[in-house]
Amino acid sequence: MLYVYRAYVASAYQMVARPILSSSVLFVMGGLHISIGRALIGVIAELFTGISGFDGRIQTHTAVYQADSMSPLLILMRIGVLLEVWPVG
């Protein structure tokens, strides 16, 4: 592909922007997919081991049955699990 761009006398910017960056987008998106899923699952693991900070607040709300204030975290957990099992490519 780079030979075609060279044959048509493409500039250095066009050589980098079109074939090289467009072919690396799949790898970047795959890395984001894996890292976001693992980070959100790490939040879940921290939830069961931590007693201070964000997870301590969640444990406090569940102890007094205020589940409605936990809905944003539950949404993040579901997104993390979906990103972890969703196939890439």
- Answer yes or no: is 20 within a domain: no
Show the beta-strand stretches assigned E in the chain. none
Average pLDDT of the residues of the chain: 75
Two tokens, residue 28: 């970047």
- Answer yes or no: is 8 within a domain: no
**Rounded Cα gap, residues 59 and 87, in angstroms:** 32
The domain total for the chain is 1
pLDDT at 30 over 70: yes
Residues in the chain: 89
Helical H runs in 1-89?
A: 2-7, 12-15, 21-49, 53-63, 71-85
For the question of whether the overall pTM of this predicted structure is more than 0.75, the answer is no
- Answer yes or no: is 17 within a domain: no
pLDDT value at residue 22: 78
If one compares 26 and 51, the residue with the highest pLDDT of the two is: 26
- Answer yes or no: is 72 within a domain: yes
Say which range, 28-37, 61-70, 75-84, has the weakest mean pLDDT: 61-70
Q: What range does the domain containing 65 cover? A: 25-89
- Answer yes or no: is 5 within a domain: no
